[in-house]
């Protein structure tokens, strides 16, 4: 993975983790975070898709505005990044070129 993509990914994961500890699934003793990696793309255009899924935390409240953290997370992938504020937990999908 290129250095810049690695740095951006690290910052995005840090932001997701910080938010989970403050407000989400990791803010209580019953919550969980599931993180998975899946290869996507063909031989020349190799990418990896990271998925983050929180469960067991307090009900999710959709933010009224996008702060620095949300913008950072959304800019982490290659244009296919998505954060879904579902009532049962945050879901995030990031696609990164290798």
Instruction: Quote the pTM value.
Output: 0.86
β strands within 1-98, DSSP E: 32-41, 46-55, 82-86, 89-97
* pLDDT tens-place string over residues 63-96: 888 888 888 888 777 767 888 999 889 999 988 8
| Res 53: pLDDT | 97
Number of alpha carbons in the 13 Å side-chain half-sphere of residue 78: 17
* pLDDT tens-place string over residues 25-40: 999 999 999 999 998 8
Domains of the chain, earliest start first = 3-97 (3.30.565.10)
């Amino acid at each position: 993975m290129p250095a810049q993509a690695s740095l951006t990914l690290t910052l995005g994961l840090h932001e997701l983790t910080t938010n989970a500890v403050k407000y989400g699934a990791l803010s209580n003793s019953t919550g969980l975070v599931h993180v998975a990696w899946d290869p996507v793309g063909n031989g020349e255009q190799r990418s990896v898709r990271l998925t983050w899924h929180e469960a067991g935390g307090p009900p999710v409240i959709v933010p009224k505005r996008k702060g620095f953290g949300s913008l950072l997370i959304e800019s982490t992938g290659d244009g296919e990044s998505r954060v879904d504020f579902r009532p049962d937990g945050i879901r995030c999908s990031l696609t990164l070129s290798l």
